């Protein structure tokens, strides 16, 4: 963990030294729902945001509530920093399948991230960015109480992001990342994830889109997310999505409803 934090600090210093002021008009890319960008791709120095995210996922055996506290700030032109604390809570349904163990309530961990937009090209409405993330994973509350352990592992993630705006309404984004994961008692694993999205923006905060996520771990897993983002007021947005696996699984289709509050 110390090595990862040192890498983050060195990365921050290098990017701060390399970043240059950019005073052009923001392109305003649309961010997919499942992919969490660290900051806007064309963020300005001093931009900051505190966000409370809540999402419910209705599984076959249980209902899942995801809750996270997130702070984002642009510490230089186009250089964003993020701290995130995610929580997960599970409630079994009335007739669970015997023998299937339900997930346990937990604070998922602590996530630290940096993102630098390498290029902003207004002439072609395109932005390119790189990001690095360190995430520490925690045991469930029950395991902490019974065994006393807190941390169960960590991961490092390096990503390349490319986004383009096509006229007034259409947006596309490609996010490719390489991740190293180390869990206690297990051999470290590394794998590649791809996130491809296309969105139609009616107004600034009303969006319909489709997101395709492919995870290459032991075997390739691909999922499609039809999604919508609706503004409720100046601070709150409602998000709606369906989780559809490309290959048939016992889990089937899930529906996700979320609420984002920016303070």
DSSP string, 95-134: SPPTTPPPP--EE-EEEEEEEEEEEEEGGGTEEEEEEEEE
Poorest-pLDDT segment among 17-31, 46-60, 139-153, 228-242: 17-31
Q: For 158-187, what is the mean pLDDT? A: 88
Question: How far, in Å, CA of 133 to CA of 11, rounded?
Answer: 11
**What local confidence, expressed as pLDDT, does residue 249 receive?**
58
Do residues 225 and 243 lie in contact, with contact meaning Cβ atoms separated by under 8 Å? yes
**What local confidence, expressed as pLDDT, does residue 139 receive?**
80
The CATH code for residues 2-94+111-262 is: 2.40.160.40
**What are the φ/ψ torsions at residue 38 (nearest 5 degrees)?**
-70, -40
Q: Using CB atoms within 10 A of its CB, is residue 111 exposed (0-12), middle (13-18) or buried (19+)?
A: buried
pLDDT surpasses 60 at 17 = no
Confidence of residue 19 (pLDDT cuts 50, 70, 90): very low
Do residues 105 and 89 lie in contact, with contact meaning Cβ atoms separated by under 8 Å? yes
Tokens of 209: 């889109």
Q: Which of 190, 180, 211, 155 is nearest to 30 (CA)?
A: 211
Domain ranges, ordered by start, for the chain: 2-94+111-262
* Each residue's pLDDT tens digit, 41-94: 888 888 888 888 888 877 667 788 888 899 999 998 889 999 999 998 888 776
Q: Position of tokens 């998000």?
A: 239
Do residues 156 and 172 lie in contact, with contact meaning Cβ atoms separated by under 8 Å? no
Report the predicted TM-score, pTM, of the whole model to 2 decimal places.
Answer: 0.81
Question: How far, in Å, CA of 175 to CA of 177, rounded?
Answer: 7
Mean residue pLDDT of the chain comes to 82
């Amino acid at each position: 963990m110390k090595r990862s934090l040192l890498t983050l600090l060195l990365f921050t210093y290098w990017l701060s030294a390399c970043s240059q002021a950019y005073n052009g008009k923001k392109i305003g890319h649309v961010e997919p729902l499942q992919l969490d960008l660290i900051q806007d791709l064309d963020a300005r120095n001093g931009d900051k945001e505190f966000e409370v995210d809540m999402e419910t996922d209705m599984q076959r055996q249980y209902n899942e509530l995801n809750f996270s506290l997130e702070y984002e700030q642009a510490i230089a032109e186009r250089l964003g920093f993020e701290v995130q604390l995610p929580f997960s809570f599970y409630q079994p349904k009335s007739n669970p399948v015997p023998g299937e163990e339900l997930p346990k309530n937990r604070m998922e961990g602590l996530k630290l991230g940096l993102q630098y937009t390498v290029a902003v090209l207004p002439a072609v409405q395109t932005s390119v960015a790189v990001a690095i993330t360190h995430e520490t994973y925690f045991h469930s509350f029950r395991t902490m109480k019974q065994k006393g352990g807190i941390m169960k592992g960590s991961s490092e993630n390096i990503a390349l992001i490319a986004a383009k705006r096509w006229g007034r309404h259409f947006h596309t984004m490609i996010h490719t990342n390489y991740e190293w994961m180390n869990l206690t008692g297990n051999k470290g694993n590394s794998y590649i994830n791809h996130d491809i999205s296309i969105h139609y923006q009616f107004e600034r905060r009303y969006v319909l889109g489709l997101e395709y996520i492919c995870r290459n771990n032991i075997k390739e897993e691909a999922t499609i997310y039809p999604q919508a983002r609706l503004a409720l007021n100046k601070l709150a947005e409602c998000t709606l999505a369906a989780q559809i696996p490309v290959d048939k699984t016992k889990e089937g289709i899930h529906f996700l409803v979320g609420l984002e509050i920016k303070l």
